[in-house]
Amino acid sequence: MDISRRGFLKLSGLSVVAVATGLGLNPEVVEAKGYALKIEGSKKIPSICHFCSGGCGMLLYVKDGKLIHLEGDPDHPTNAGTLCPKAASLRSVAYSSARVTKPKRRAPGAKDWEEISWDEALDRVAKKAKEVRDASWKASESIVNAKTGQSEVFEVNRAEGIAFLGSAEVDNEESYLISKFCRVLGIPYNEHQARI
């Protein structure tokens, strides 16, 4: 009988299952034991997925400070144990060698990015924000009064050169703080990525 490599592997798999079942092994029990072994010695930490504002519940299994397994939280009202592919890939994201973990800067005209400290990054952002705010500040604006048809000058006090873009990971409390932050700086353009 001619048999391909794939066919051979399929047949051997079937034979193993057949033998196992014949010996009284219950595949469901084997699967449950495999799962128990996988998470053995780990700490289960309930958490929330950070990838989008869906806020699905997750169970993270951490051993020796490392995430070894994750799954949807069956008791969470949003996702009832399910997870979308983005969340299911979270472990790879956390440990990816391509993950950027430190601030980087590409100097004007430079080809490469250089690593900088958080202090330097925050100082640079604050300095730039002040610079742009001062340069684009609008204290008043002439607006036509709809009733009288006459132009009137109104105090507006806004930094027209800065916009704030929120993220899908932002929750209600963070959104509140972001809008407060924008009001303090006089930033009128406060958007959310989901609307773009």
Which of 59, 60, 70, 87 touches ligand SF4 by CB under 6 A? 87
Counting contacts by CB under 6 A, is residue 103 touching ligand SF4?
Answer: no
Q: Report residue 131 as tokens.
A: 């610079």
Q: How far is the CB of 70 from ligand SF4 (least distance, A)?
A: 10
Q: Give yes or no for a contact between 189 and 162, defined as CB atoms under 8 angstroms apart.
A: yes
When asked if residue 84 is in the footprint of ligand SF4 (CB under 6 A), the reply is yes
Residue (79 or 178) nearer to ligand SF4, CB = 79
Q: Does 86 bind ligand SF4 (CB under 6 A)?
A: yes
Position 187 contacts ligand SF4 (CB under 6 A): no
Rounded to the nearest whole angstrom, what is the least distance from the CB of residue 71 to ligand SF4 in the complex? 11
Out of 39, 52, 62, 116, the only residue in the binding site for ligand SF4 (CB under 6 A) is 52
Minimum distance between the CB of residue 117 and ligand SF4, rounded to whole angstroms? 31
Q: Is 164 in the site for ligand SF4 (CB under 6 A)?
A: no
The answer to whether residue 185 forms part of the interface with ligand SF4 (CB under 6 A) is: no
In whole angstroms, what is the distance from residue 67 CA to residue 76 CA? 20
* Residues that bind ligand SF4 in the complex, under the rule CB under 6 A: 49, 51-52, 54-56, 79, 83-84, 86-87
